[in-house]
Structure 1
């Protein structure tokens, strides 16, 4: 029996639910990148990066090619980069809305303090 679409989507978002994986995907938005550059940018243990890259490979979000001793990763589709940009837009709106709410919440305190 096939997995329901909502369940497949939940699994997809669980795959994205790790800060290192998100950071790797963000770095790969700019094009293919060798592991050594990912390590330098993220500053984690090589074994931890390897584990997170493995998860991303299994989910087909990234692909890897070998160039001699160097493994180079890239996004499997430009849609991944678009998803990250959409997440940034959504977060920006959420933070803006929270800022407006915070300003509204502080208004009575300002009035009470000046009275």
Structure 2
């Protein structure tokens, strides 16, 4: 029996549910990056970054190519960058609404 679409979507979003993975995807929006460059930007232990990159690679969201002794990661497609931009827009709207509510609460308490 095939997996229902809603379940597949839930698994997809669970896979994204790690701060290091999100940061990697944000950084790769600017183009392919070597692991050493990702390490410099993210500042986590190499083993932690390696584990998170492996999850992203297995899911098919990123690709890895070897250039000599360097491994370079890239987004597998533009849709991932679009998803990250959409998440930013949604969060911006949510936080703007929260700021408006906070301002009203502050006014009411004065």
Compute the TM-score of the two structures, normalised by the length of structure 2.
Answer: 0.98
SS at match of 1:94: helix
Question: Deviations for 1:29-56, whole angstroms, at most 9, x for unmatched residues?
Answer: 0000000000111111111000000000
Q: Aligned partners of 1:58, 1:5: CA distance in 2, in Å?
A: 19
Max Rg structure: 1
Deviations 1:35-85 (A, max 9, x none): 000011111111100000000001000000001100000000110001000
What residue in structure 2 maps to residue 67 of structure 1?
67
Q: Determine the structure 2 residue equivalent to 1:6.
A: 6
Separation (CA, whole Å) in 1 of partners of 2:37 and 2:100: 39
| Farther off after superposition, 100-109 or 80-89 | 100-109
Q: Which residue of 2 aligns with 1:58?
A: 58
Structure 2 unmatched runs, 5+: none
Unaligned runs of 5+ in 1: 111-115
Task: Tell me if 1:40 matches 2:50.
Answer: no
SS in 2 for 1:3: coil
* TM-score between the two structures when normalised by the length of structure 1: 0.94
Q: CA RMSD in A?
A: 0.6
Runs of 4+ deviating beyond 6 Å: none
3-state SS of 2:100 partner: helix
Q: Paired residue for 1:113?
A: none
